[in-house]
Structure 1
Amino acid sequence: MTATGPTIRTAVQGGVGTIEISNPARHNALSVPMMSELAAALQALDADRQVRVVVLRGAGEDSFVSGVDISEFVERTDESRRVADATANSLFTRLSKVSAPVIARIHGYCLGVGVAVALGADLRYADTRAFLAIPAARLGVGYPLAQTAGLVQTVGPAAAGDLLFTGRRVPAAVALSMGLVDRVVEPERLGEVVDELAATIAGNAPLSVRAAKAAIRAVRRAGEADPEIDGIRRHAEEEIERCATSADLREGAHAFLEKRAPRFTGR
């Protein structure tokens, strides 16, 4: 998946949906149109029942996502700011609702909105050359409340304060110690390791995996003063119940007894 201009590319193979964020001239910075495209790509893959796991990656070798496209800030009006904010909110809402697991494959720079996108994933794997930062304070930007909540929930208030107050770039090893990423590998192994992880997830019972993601989401959001919480919990319970009456449950049991690999269909 290669591109010469700003674009979002998708591919599906072996149950793995891959989304590539590409803006070569700006180190994969996300423009407002690209945010809309990314949200649409996530929606399309989520609607495809053949997709059992989604991988997010940046094009090229130097960046995952280097932030928002700052060139759009120069002549920004109140109206364009409102459009940009609404588009970003739609993107993160869509990302939060993807029913399949999402893996962020992070190489090079992961800055600003790139960190927010990565935090929207379920798993974050980085290479040793990766740097992560939220430079909002260096740009005069108020980091959005919803994304701040996700950051605090992931790394804790002190580490979140460190990242937001200083705007400093932290190398992958420090990000790992903070809990900002889940695993760090050498650059030449990142693709192999993420592909292996994605293939493992894609090979498991999709209803079970989706139920697990729904349950994790319900647990993480339990206690929030949000009218959606009851619906999120009910959805998780329904997904778990679907597993109990599924053909995949019977297939898993037969495969275990017959000492063979299961052939799950998501039914």
Structure 2
Amino acid sequence: MTAVNVTPTSRIRTEVRDAVGTVEICNPAQHNALSVRMMTELAAALRAMDEDPDVRVVVLRGAGERAFVSGADISEFPARQDADVRKTADEAATTLFTRLSALSVPVIARIHGYCLGAGMALALGADLRYADTRGVLAIPAARLGVGYPLDQTAALVQTVGPAAASDLLFTGRRLPAIEAQNMGLVDRVVEPDELGKVVDELAATIAGNAPLSVRAAKASIRAVRRLSEGDEAAGSAALGLAMEAVTRCGTSDDLREGALAFLEKRPPRFAGR
């Protein structure tokens, strides 16, 4: 097991255990609201996870009992009237969500309590979203005078469709986790005392599979999404990376190990090469 804080005073905690990387947003006194500094630290933590060869899947979670992430830190909003402060905040957010969208390993959002605004953007950037029955999801941008970022709006539309996205963005209303699941915003909802176990089991299953195959699958899914967005350049680039990833699987040691393990009727021991 390896546990690392990005800085000694960081509100972002990371841990790697059994090929599962956990990134915890730790600001429970403010329901894990994201300050600009925390966005910068979180982007750095995600990058470190993606560059760690021991990490095969990432779990993104919030500290405490009341929130995944309750949004951006509203106490910083007045200062953003200054152009330089606003530019810094916008750049931190752009870097964070660009980093999240570029991760090569699967990301699971473990959602409990409030998942609002920037928290929803983080969840939408994950590949899988699991929540407990006390989860509450919303994008209250219209109630705060905030223009929700275009990239995150696109992710929302891709996930739930234009009508449901319009409902969420126009009203700013809060959805219980079950309604969010019915809308397609959440993949699974469980009781609060089961969430940790269920997410841990899911992460362990993914981590136990051939990492090159899992990365190739994620790259292929990303390529399909990029192509569906109509961005020819981005779609072509993503398609090229996906084809390389799939080809690499065909000549990997893991492919030979998978076949041998099947014949020997034993669990495979994948090395990621």
TM-score normalized by structure 1?
Answer: 0.97
- C-alpha separation in 1, matches of 2:21 and 2:78: 35
1:56 maps to what in 2? 60
What number of residue pairs does the alignment pair up? 266
For residues 1-267 of structure 1, the aligned pairs below 5 Å read 7-76=11-80, 77-223=82-228, 224-267=230-273
Matched-pair contact (CA < 8 Å) for 1:12–1:18:
yes
User: For each residue in 1:202-229, what CA deviation from the matched residue of structure 2 results, as whole angstroms up to 9, or x when unmatched?
Assistant: 0000000000000000011114225222
How far off is 1:79 after superposition?
1.2
SS for the counterpart of 1:54 is strand
- C-alpha separation in 2, matches of 1:129 and 1:251: 42
Matched-pair contact (CA < 8 Å) for 2:66–2:114:
yes
How far off is 1:230 after superposition?
1.3
Matched-pair contact (CA < 8 Å) for 1:6–1:24:
no
Change (3 A) 1:226 1:84: farther
Structure 1: segments with no counterpart, 5+ residues? none
- C-alpha separation in 2, matches of 1:163 and 1:184: 19
SS for the counterpart of 1:228 is helix
How far off is 1:140 after superposition?
0.3
Matched-pair contact (CA < 8 Å) for 1:6–1:23:
no
TM-score normalized by structure 2?
Answer: 0.95
SS for the counterpart of 2:268 is coil
How far off is 1:6 after superposition?
6.3
Amino acid in structure 2 at the alignment position of 1:229 = G
Over the matched positions of the two proteins, sequence identity in percent amounts to 71
